[in-house]
A and B are shown apart, each in its own frame.
Chain A
Amino acid sequence: MEQAIALEEKLIWKGGVEPLKSSYGKLMMWFFLLSDTFTFSALLITYGLLRFSHDIAPKAARVMVDGHEKFIFSTEYWPVPEHVFTHFPLTHAHLPLVFVGLMTFILIMSSVTMVLAVEAGHRMDKIAVQKWMLWTILGGIAFVSCQAWEWTIFITGSEHGMTLADASKVFGASLIRNEYGPPAFADLFFFITGFHGTHVFSGVVLNIIIFFNVANGLYEKRGQYEMVEKVGLYWHFVDLVWVFVFTFFYLI
Chain B
Amino acid sequence: MASHSVGQFVPDTTPESIRQRGVIWRTFWVMFGITILEFILAFTKGPYHINHLFVVIVFISLTLLKAFYIVAEFMHLKHEVKMLIMCVSLPVIFIIWFIISMLYEGNAILLVR
Contacts and interface: CB of A to CB of B under 8 A. Distances in A.
Interface of A: 16-18, 20-24, 27, 30, 33-34, 37-38, 41-42, 45-46, 48-55, 69, 82, 96-97, 101, 104-105, 108-109, 111-112, 114-116, 118-120, 122-125, 128, 223-226, 229, 232-233, 236-237, 239-240, 243-244, 247, 251-252
Interface string B20-59: 1100110110011001001100110010000000011001
A20 to B, nearest CB: 4
16 contacts: A18-B2, A41-B98, A45-B102, A48-B102, A49-B103, A50-B106, A52-B109, A53-B109, A104-B35, A112-B25, A122-B10, A123-B12, A124-B10, A240-B67, A243-B63, A243-B66
User: Main secondary structure on chain B at its contact with chain A?
Assistant: helix
Contacts, number: 159
Contacts of B60: 247, 252
Given A34-B88, A105-B35, A243-B70, A45 B99 contact: yes
A162 B73 CA distance: 46
B15 interface: no
Given A48-B103, A52-B103, A243-B66, A251 B2 contact: no
Nearest to B112: A53
Given A17-B2, A41-B95, A125 B12 contact: yes
Given A41-B95, A69-B46, A239-B70, A124 B24 contact: no
Nearest to B62: A247
Contacts of B24: 112, 115-116, 119
B25 to A, nearest CB: 7
B9 A125 contact: yes
Contacts of A96: 43
Contacts of A226: 1, 4
A185 B43 CA distance: 22
Contacts of A111: 70, 74
A153 to B, nearest CB: 20
A30 B31 CA distance: 23
B53 to A, nearest CB: 11
Nearest to B3: A18
A128 B12 contact: yes
Interface of B: 1-12, 14, 17, 20-21, 24-25, 27-28, 31-32, 35, 38-39, 42-43, 46, 55-56, 59-60, 62-63, 66-67, 70-71, 73-76, 80-81, 83-84, 87-88, 91-92, 94-95, 98-99, 102-103, 105-107, 109-110, 113
A37 B95 contact: yes
A82 B42 CA distance: 9
Given A20-B84, A38-B95, 8 more contacts: A38-B91, A41-B98, A52-B103, A108-B32, A116-B21, A229-B76, A236-B71, A247-B38
Contacts of A48: 99, 102-103, 106
B67 A223 contact: no
Given A30-B88, A115-B24, A244 B102 contact: no
A49 B42 contact: no
Contacts of B28: 108-109, 112
The 5 closest A-B pairs by CB, nearest first: A52-B106, A223-B6, A53-B109, A123-B10, A49-B106
